[in-house]
Amino acid sequence: MATRKEIHLALRGLLLTAVGLPATRLFENVIPNPNPPPAGTPYVVEQNVPATSEVLSATMQTGAPRMNDGIYIAQYFAVDGSGTNSADDGVDAILAVFPPGKAITLASGGVLRIKGKPAPYAGGITPLSNGFAFVTVYVPWWTLSALA
């Protein structure tokens, strides 16, 4: 069975392949973070939220199929007042590396898949009072493993 850490690192690794994202990234539970980030510098924040685990068999015996799912969240912070192009370009770059149906082979041998229903999506631009505006990208995922 894939671990939370393995899933998170696989998703983060995919995010790192996005072309055109700013170099400043605030990763979940990684120290040091440039907090707050430098003024006027766009940045990306990420976190993984494992959600549910479901045994897909009435027997509940060892080896029964088990589905785990969750949502990976990436937030693109653009300089407020710079128009929507910067934020839109960042969001498009993130969504491009998480297409629905994408399969990622994990070190444990399991497969992490990007959901298609719902597929990855982005919210609207939210201005902040600190000189930034952000857009949140939601990436639903799932894995299938055997019940231990």
Say which residues have a Cβ less than 8 Å from residue 28's Cβ, sequence separation at least 6: 8, 46, 47, 48
- Kindly report the CATH class assigned to 4-146: alpha beta
Q: What is the chain's mean pLDDT, rounded?
A: 86
pLDDT > 90: percent of the chain: 43
89, pLDDT greater than 60: yes
Contact between 145 and 110 (Cβ < 8 Å):
yes
pLDDT of amino acid 116:
96
Say which residues have a Cβ less than 8 Å from residue 64's Cβ, sequence separation at least 6: 55, 56, 57, 146, 147
| pLDDT tens-digit series, residues 67-82 | 899 999 999 988 877 6
